[in-house]
Amino acid sequence: MLILIFLSALIIAPGCSSRKAPEGLRVVSLSPAITEIIYAIGAENALYGITNHCNWPPKASREKESVGDFSFPSMEKIALIQPSLILAAGDGQGKAISHLINAGYDVRVFHPADIAELFAHIMEIGRILGKTNNASELVKNMKKEISSIPKLKNKSVFIEVCPKPLIAASDKTFLSAICERIGLRNIAVFQNSYPGVNAEWLIRKKPDYILLTGCSEEEFRALHPYIKNSKIIRPSDIDMIVRPGPRITRGMREIYYLAEDAEKKQ
């Protein structure tokens, strides 16, 4: 089957859609972000399977059948659900997607590179699941929320995704896009999305902030004691910023306020 790749974004949307999900539609979500979107637009009745990592909203793991791991879901469990549609994230799921396509499933991949693509993806998921109005309302609310977040001025950031070996999220990633939107220029300009770098490079670059997503501040400081001048920030819930979904606006706002508080403590 053909993989349809859409580029876009998401947030929380109340209200009722004018249409119900297509009758008989049975969806499996292989992405925590997509699962959050499906619930946010009120289309969870069409959702029959999720991964072990789909933990938001909390009721999702109680209500829906797990098909296993994000990267390597169980083909047997998916077959038992008999889905008419599988929604995937793509990144890190290449082998699983190939197996599912070869097995004859309709697989569609949503892997937004930036916020605009996230919005587009939300609208497309809403169209597919018969919740166009809800998706539109969600996107409208997200845009309004993002526009209300202040911007930092002339500040740079290093986005850590793994402390050892030290791996960055480059300017080609969704994480970078949300930081740029609130005024944080990513110093990791590379062709690869997640390049390995060394501490010497990071010290030379002198970013104003280091945004942690893969470890705690204590762990980072212990592993890299010579990186002292950058202010370290770490959101309370990393999922809100690493998942391109409805909660991204909350994550962006928290990054802004963490950076602002770090400036005041200087």
Over residues 106-117, the pLDDT tens digits come to 999 999 999 999
Total of domains in the chain = 2
Residue 4: is its pLDDT beyond 90? no
Tens-place pLDDT, residues 199-253: 999 999 999 999 999 999 999 999 999 998 899 999 999 999 999 999 999 999 9
Supply the CATH number for residue 253's domain: 3.40.50.1980
3-state SS record for 145-176: HHHCCCCCCCEEEEEEEEECCEEECCCCCHHH
The answer on 223 and 161 residing in a single domain is yes
44 neighbors 154 (Cβ within 8 angstroms):
no
Yes or no: say if 49 and 78 are a contact pair by the CB < 8 Å rule. Answer: yes
Decide if pLDDT at 10 tops 60. no
Helix (H, G, I), strand (E, B) or coil at 12: coil
94 and 167 co-located in one domain: no
Handedness of CA 47, 51, 53, 58 (dihedral sign): positive
Confidence band of 15 (pLDDT split at 50, 70, 90): very low
pLDDT band with cut points at 50, 70 and 90 for residue 8:
very low
Measured CA to CA in angstroms, residue 58 lies from 51, 64, 135 at distances of: 13, 11, 21
pLDDT-derived band of residue 262, with 50, 70 and 90 as boundaries? confident
Last residue of some domain: 146, 165, 199? 146
81 and 34 housed in the same domain: yes
Same domain for 134 and 28: yes
Q: Could you tell me if 97 and 183 lie in one domain?
A: no
Same domain assignment for residues 129 and 184:
no
89 and 180 part of one domain: no
204 and 74 within one domain: no
The domain boundary, picked from 146, 176, 198, lies at 146
Query: 55 near 245, Cβ under 8 Å?
Result: no
Report strand pairing: 107-110 vs 85-88. parallel
Say what the alpha-carbon torsion angle 8, 10, 14, 20 is, to the nearest 10 degrees.
Answer: 50
The residue-averaged pLDDT of 102-106 equals: 96
Residues 93 and 192 in one domain: no
Q: Is the pLDDT of residue 13 over 50?
A: no
Same domain, 109 and 23: yes
Q: Give the range among 82-86, 154-158, 224-228, 260-264 with minimum mean pLDDT.
A: 260-264
In angstroms, the Cα distances linking 264 to 88, 149, 181, 190, 258 are 42, 18, 21, 31, 10
**CB contact at 8 A, 104 and 86:** no
Q: Is 174 exposed, middle or buried (0-12, 13-18, 19+ CB in 10 A)?
A: buried
For residues 158 and 209, is the Cβ–Cβ distance under 8 A? yes
Same domain assignment for residues 35 and 121: yes
Q: What is the pLDDT of residue 264?
A: 78
Q: Where in 26-105 does DSSP place strands (E)?
A: 27-29, 47-50, 65-66, 85-88
Q: Containing domain of residue 14, as a range?
A: 4-146
CA angle 51, 178, 134 (to 5 degrees): 60
Q: pLDDT digit string (tens) for 137-175?
A: 999 999 999 999 999 999 999 999 999 999 999 999 999
Q: In what order do the strands lie in the sheet with 27-29?
A: 4-6, 107-110, 85-88, 27-29, 47-50, 65-66
- Listed residues 114, 129, 146: the one ending a domain: 146
Instruction: Please indicate, yes or no, whether residues 132 and 207 belong to a single structural domain of this protein.
Output: no
Q: With 50 as the cut, is the pLDDT of residue 97 above it?
A: yes
pLDDT confidence of residue 118: 98
Q: What is the pLDDT of residue 91?
A: 79
At 10, which helix (H) or strand (E)?
none
Give Cα 33 to chain centroid, integer Å: 6
